[in-house]
Structure 1
Amino acid sequence: MKTRYPLMLAKLRNLATVTAVAAAVTLLAACATNSSTATPAAAASGAPGTGGTKIGFIFVGPKDDYGYNQAAYEGSQAVAKAFPAMEVLTAENVPEDDNAARVMEGMIRKGAKIIFATSYGHKDPALKVAAAHPDVVVLQQGNIVDGAVPPNFGTYFGTVYEPVYLAGIVAGKTTKSNKLGYVYAFPISQTLDNINAFQLGAASVNPAAKTYVVNTSSWCDPAKQAEAAKSLLSQGVDVISQHQDCTATVIRATEAAGAYTVGYHADASSLAPKGWLTGSQWNWGPLYTKMTQKIMDGGFTGSPYNANFRVGLKTGDNPFVQSAYGPSVSEDAKKLATDAMARISKDGSPFLGPVTDQAGAVKIPAGTVPDYKTIESIDYFVTGVVGKIPSS
């Protein structure tokens, strides 16, 4: 979501070598666009993104990871359904380096004038492609651009920590040991925000609850994920959540141990029929479709999407939503989560002050509702989180 770590992420989230990309990238075609959109007038206007025959999506991982990439892929298929006069191209396992630029360039050669680069570390390659093709609109998911945003570029994301806070409330009311677990990849703002929101939610209904964290230094490494889950369970943790791209390993390990699961990125309740509590999941289809419509109408430049676009509960269209409840969630927990959602939607925030860090220092003063920039600049763990942020 932020540009503070672009070089780190470009290295850390590189999921494949150049050779692997050539083997793994798959371009899928599916007809797509609404007859009311790609009109001759729009195409003749010369506006960025108009006049193309295809729409491209690139993903950093596999489309069936029960997580981040699966949610984005499902969103691309919603676009395919909404725009049946276009072709939708998708590419899986695209690293966050110059390989991403090459894949996007290939899509443009095939006729794409709209590209969705769906991973945090795809920002720099996406900006490079946008600069080389002013007639193409490139949309990047999760990061931000500091300073002026090019007229054919935009970033977008949902307010991820809101449904995570609600899930923390459910976890805090359900735990018997008062020990919650969180498996996360890297100490970037997205993960720190989510861990902190989860703990703040839990503590709001159960002051004794604490969140134990384990860092995997990978977005999708099943072996490390299995070890992380094992470590948390051995400490008496009875509810585990995560911030990983692929989520199946942690969920299966938690279910096998008889503990509770809080999901992330996608609905994976089928993997934990007994222990599923709730989760946070993407519903990208509506937003992807709205952005595509705006572009094809010739109105992208100067629109809210030609910026660092963010939405949440207050705007009423957050693409990151709370997952369905599992069988073990009490009515009391559901009501507490519902009430919290109403407060946040009106004038609140999961980070409503006072918020203190692990050392007890006040980071957000009492009564303060922090803005997006403040929250997306968090570089600390809040009180109640057990574990240290890696120094590198």
Structure 2
Amino acid sequence: MKLKHLLASATLGLATMAVAQDDPLTVGFVYVGPVGDGGWTYEHNQGRLAVEEHFGDAVETVFVESVPEGPDAVRVMQQMALNGADLIFTTSFGYMDQTIEVASQFPDVMFEHATGYKRTDNVGTYSARFYEGRAVQGHIAGQMTESNIIGYIGSFPIPEVIRGINAAYIHAQEVNPDVEFKIVWVYTWFDPAKEAEAARTLIDQGADVILQHTDSTAPQAAAAEAGNVYTFGQASDMAEFAPMPRISSIIDNWAPYYIDRVQAVIDGTWESDDTWDGIGPGMVGIGEMTDAIPEEIRASATALKDSIAAGEYHPFTGPLNKQDGSVWLEEGETADDGTLLGMNFYVEGITGDIPQ
């Protein structure tokens, strides 16, 4: 696998040192999928391009796409560091341990790991509150379904994905008590063939609305072939499938974060930190709600989005029970971040088991 736009540059001596004005910073990005996936990796790459545009000649970027979560990731990160990367963003949950390993070998290089929770002096973490967008999607989906069956394509049964399923179900069930979720796990972030097959399976099971936590547009294409099935864009707008079947989307906006963290390195102010932002700060966006959604549903979904953004409403607000009927949140109680970050249970009403 070859580095794209591989550039050599001297590393920073220490994380606390500011980069000289005439010494360009080299920033690396490690991607789990191809930059053309139309979803997760596409949006991270848009952030990289925004860094290039913002800083001009002061920053050079490198990236490697389609890096498996395993030993290959270690080799790619090591090669980036050896070739002069001063700051490296590793953009998938499964890179967590590899990022920590390589960071220990290159203490003068700064690392940022997306969606993970392990930090060291030279490893920071960042993620987005995708569950806020899932709540808005569920609110729309629960009112758009006629079969009362909503399909959900899950990637891996990690807390991030489980949170999204729960948030979508809670808000679908709130507007439609008869709604049922059917979940298919594909154990991949990006595999168009598997994603399309999962979508077709859900459609065969009666789903007329499909949500996904996978990265390609294949479920959108499968829904378009089936007809009369609604979908939502994942990570990016996927607007090529609007106004049908893609009726709205969750958009991951990484550019402001990437620009801020690169600037911190240049200024010599970078420190290991954890960032978890949502709709309010703009890290999570809601794509255009097309005219396929009735006006009153668009209005109520917009009101929900605005209340989340303003901090007036938390998508996990009690009363809520766990799947087994035990009380999780009392009336008016909201979930704490620790529980959300480690979420390993479904809420009451979702059938089936979480794979182990």
TM-score (norm: length of structure 1) = 0.83
User: 2:179 corresponds to which residue?
Assistant: 209
Q: Please report how far the alpha carbon of residue 143 of structure 1 lies from its aligned counterpart in structure 2 after TM superposition.
A: 0.6
* Contact residue 196 and residue 221 of structure 2 kept, 8 A: no
User: 2:352 corresponds to which residue?
Assistant: 387
User: 2:96 corresponds to which residue?
Assistant: 123
Which residue among 270, 289, 302 is the counterpart of 1:325? Answer: 289
1:265 partner SS:
coil
- Do the aligned partners of residues 91 and 280 (structure 1) sit closer, same or farther apart at CA in structure 2, a change above 3 Å counting? same
User: 1:355 corresponds to which residue?
Assistant: 320
User: 2:341 corresponds to which residue?
Assistant: 376
Task: Tell me the amino acid that sits aligned with residue 48 of structure 2.
Answer: S
- Do the aligned partners of residues 360 and 56 (structure 1) sit closer, same or farther apart at CA in structure 2, a change above 3 Å counting? same
1:383 partner SS:
coil
Structure 1 residue runs without a partner (length 5+): 1-21, 32-42
Q: Does 1:93 align with 2:66?
A: yes
Larger mean Cα displacement after TM superposition, 47-56 or 98-107: 47-56
Q: Does 1:299 align with 2:269?
A: yes
1:83 partner SS:
helix
Q: Please report how far the alpha carbon of residue 50 of structure 1 lies from its aligned counterpart in structure 2 after TM superposition.
A: 4.0
Task: Tell me the amino acid that sits aligned with residue 276 of structure 2.
Answer: R
User: 2:80 corresponds to which residue?
Assistant: 107
Q: Does 1:312 align with 2:278?
A: yes
- Do the aligned partners of residues 115 and 49 (structure 1) sit closer, same or farther apart at CA in structure 2, a change above 3 Å counting? farther
Which residue among 258, 270, 281 is the counterpart of 2:251? Answer: 281
Task: Tell me the amino acid that sits aligned with residue 334 of structure 1.
Answer: R
Q: Give the number of aligned pairs.
A: 347
Q: Please report how far the alpha carbon of residue 29 of structure 1 lies from its aligned counterpart in structure 2 after TM superposition.
A: 5.6
Task: Tell me the amino acid that sits aligned with residue 104 of structure 2.
Answer: A
Q: Please report how far the alpha carbon of residue 177 of structure 1 lies from its aligned counterpart in structure 2 after TM superposition.
A: 1.4
Q: Please report how far the alpha carbon of residue 76 of structure 1 lies from its aligned counterpart in structure 2 after TM superposition.
A: 0.8
Q: Please report how far the alpha carbon of residue 226 of structure 1 lies from its aligned counterpart in structure 2 after TM superposition.
A: 2.4
* Contact residue 165 and residue 200 of structure 1 kept, 8 A: yes
Q: Please report how far the alpha carbon of residue 270 of structure 1 lies from its aligned counterpart in structure 2 after TM superposition.
A: 0.5
* Contact residue 25 and residue 266 of structure 2 kept, 8 A: no
- Do the aligned partners of residues 206 and 153 (structure 1) sit closer, same or farther apart at CA in structure 2, a change above 3 Å counting? same
Q: Please report how far the alpha carbon of residue 119 of structure 1 lies from its aligned counterpart in structure 2 after TM superposition.
A: 0.9
Which residue among 71, 81, 84 is the counterpart of 2:43? Answer: 71
Which residue among 223, 239, 248 is the counterpart of 1:269? Answer: 239
> RMSD over aligned Cα, in angstroms?
2.1
Q: Please report how far the alpha carbon of residue 265 of structure 1 lies from its aligned counterpart in structure 2 after TM superposition.
A: 1.0
Which residue among 251, 256, 262 is the counterpart of 2:220? Answer: 251
Which residue among 56, 74, 86 is the counterpart of 1:84? Answer: 56
Deviations 1:125-150 (A, max 9, x none): 211222222221100001112xxx42
Structure 2 residue runs without a partner (length 5+): none
1:346 partner SS:
coil
* Contact residue 261 and residue 272 of structure 1 kept, 8 A: no
State percent identity of aligned pairs: 33
State the distance in 2 between where 1:322 and 1:53 align: 33
Q: Does 1:167 align with 2:137?
A: yes
Task: Tell me the amino acid that sits aligned with residue 27 of structure 1.
Answer: K
Q: Does 1:28 align with 2:1?
A: no
